[in-house]
Amino acid sequence: MKYSSKELVRIAICSALTGILAWIKVPLPFTPVPISAQTFGVMISGLVLPPPLAALSQLIYILLGLLGLPVFSGGQSGLGTLAGPTGGYIIGFIPAAFVISFLIKKYNPKTFWSHSLILTLGSIVIIYFTGVLQLILVTGISPMQALISGVFPFLIGDFLKVIIGARLAKRISNFN
């Protein structure tokens, strides 16, 4: 597939943004999953790129981390991070960015609330699903324990990211 220079730059910016936002990390003593801002980068990717390119930007982000660049939460990198308790959240970035972009393109939302719904479905639901699944598989905890340690503590922060993303969505749509 051939991409224009403009598309390549946007893909690179979105990959880099997710990696930069991963450095904003707040560890919590009761869970292996830290609070991070990288999901906001996933949302932005879905807002500014077409679906395949949004997914590609997150795949590139993950590949950079696998190659050893410190782009995962708190500057981590490598297969150990991706195979660990938080890896499912990171893997979920790819389908989340795709779904956000797909829903934005398909429904062309006009209101704050419609943008919020799309960002919530795309980022929170998908990323939490893949994250909780791997958290259960890697740690052996129950689904309820996974929700308690891997979802509930982060919902308020993620909804704040959705609100900020929905507010920015109108301005960002001018870039498409």
CA separation for the pair 83, 101 (Å, rounded): 27
Q: How many CB atoms are located within 10 Å of the residue 39 CB?
A: 27
How confident is the model at residue 68, as a pLDDT? 98
* CA torsion, ordered 142, 41, 162, 126, to nearest 10 deg: -40
Q: What is the pLDDT of residues 85-129, one digit of tens each?
A: 999 999 999 999 999 999 999 999 989 899 999 999 888 999 999
Q: What is the pLDDT of residues 27-55, one digit of tens each?
A: 888 877 778 899 999 999 999 999 999 99
How many domains are contained in the chain?
1
3-state secondary structure of 92: coil
3-state secondary structure of 127: helix
Q: Is pLDDT above 80 for 136? A: yes
Average pLDDT of every residue of the chain: 93
Q: Find the domain containing 65 and state its range.
A: 5-173
For residue 30, give the DSSP letter. Answer: T
How confident is the model at residue 175, as a pLDDT? 59
CATH of the domain at 41: 1.10.1760.20
